[in-house]
Structure 1
Amino acid sequence: MKIIVLALFIFSLVHSSSLQAIELDLTSAQNAVGKRFANKFCEAKKEGFSSDSSSEFALNNTYLKFVAFPDDEKFIKNLWEYTITIIREDCGEYISETEENNLKEFFEEEGEIASNRSLYLPH
């Protein structure tokens, strides 16, 4: 019985520390990637660039091309929600619903690449 209790205790410690690490990773990603991506995207949109060009400009001027994310769909979803909130606040008048959907797909694809970075790096 003591072994089971001890095993459960150790499992709960490991599990909670991994959840905290994911939360810290998300906060860091929001600041380093989401916020900067939104700012660069809006900068390009305000200059009159298309959404596709603005997405590429934002991608090329953020860390999204270089970071490795956890392989977790919820992580990418939360990062997207954070990023689109900033975009809506800063330049929502420059983006249509269709463009927003396309941007979401673009962001999710790049997030998927970031979650599987080792597959895209040369060996």
Structure 2
Amino acid sequence: MNLIKKEFFVIIIIGLFFYSFLKAPSLKAIEFDLTAAQNSVGKRFASKFCEAKEKGFSTESSSEFALNNTYLKFVAFPEDEKFIEDLWEFTVERIRYDCGSYVTKNQENNLRDFFQEEGEIASNRDLYLPN
């Protein structure tokens, strides 16, 4: 009788192990911290934006180019305006440092609106992607 209980217990533990292994937790926006976003999104966005600006593209074309060449289209951010604002501040500082001479204050404001709009989409990714 004791042997049956032990075997049953082992089978349950193995079953739970396989269930937890196969049901891998999905990446939630809450787990996507600001430092990771700055490294994977902010730096790359600024780099690609400046690359396009240096080639003479307009601000709109440069921001679209940067969007299409970064992870911003694919990440999910927390629904937190401060998170997006902090990420924007980091990104715009990189842009100012890397190619500030190519960007006017007005263009920077337009880029901010674009970035915030894309950040809002990233904060509501579940509304844009099928389950």
Per the normalisation by structure 1, the TM-score is 0.80
Q: What 5-or-longer segments of structure 1 have no aligned partner?
A: 1-20
Which aligned segments of 4 or more residues in structure 1 are displaced greater than 2 angstroms?
21-24
Q: How far apart are the structure 1 equivalents of 2:101 and 2:119?
A: 25
Q: How far apart are the structure 2 equivalents of 1:84 and 1:22?
A: 23
Residue 85 of structure 2 is aligned to residue 77 of structure 1: yes
2:45 to 17, 37, 48: 37
Counterpart of 1:96, as a letter, is: T
Name the residue aligned to 1:10. none
Tell me the secondary structure at the aligned position of residue 57 of structure 1: helix
Tell me the secondary structure at the aligned position of residue 95 of structure 2: helix
Per the normalisation by structure 2, the TM-score is 0.75
Residue 118 of structure 2 is aligned to residue 96 of structure 1: no
Tell me the secondary structure at the aligned position of residue 76 of structure 1: helix
1:25 to 21, 33, 36: 33
CA contact (8 A) 2:30 2:77 kept: no
CA contact (8 A) 2:74 2:122 kept: yes
CA contact (8 A) 2:88 2:115 kept: yes
Name the residue aligned to 1:47. 55
Q: How far apart are the structure 2 equivalents of 1:89 and 1:65?
A: 24
> Deviation at 1:57?
0.2
Q: How far apart are the structure 2 equivalents of 1:119 and 1:25?
A: 21
What are the superposed Cα offsets for residues 22-78 of structure 1, whole Å, 9 maximum, x if unpaired?
A: 696100000000000000000000000000000000000000000000000000000
Report how many residues are paired: 103
Larger radius of gyration: 2
1:55-70 aligned within 5 A: 55-70=63-78
> Deviation at 1:122?
2.3
What are the superposed Cα offsets for residues 81-121 of structure 1, whole Å, 9 maximum, x if unpaired?
A: 00000000000000111100000000000000000000011
Q: What 5-or-longer segments of structure 2 have no aligned partner?
A: 1-28
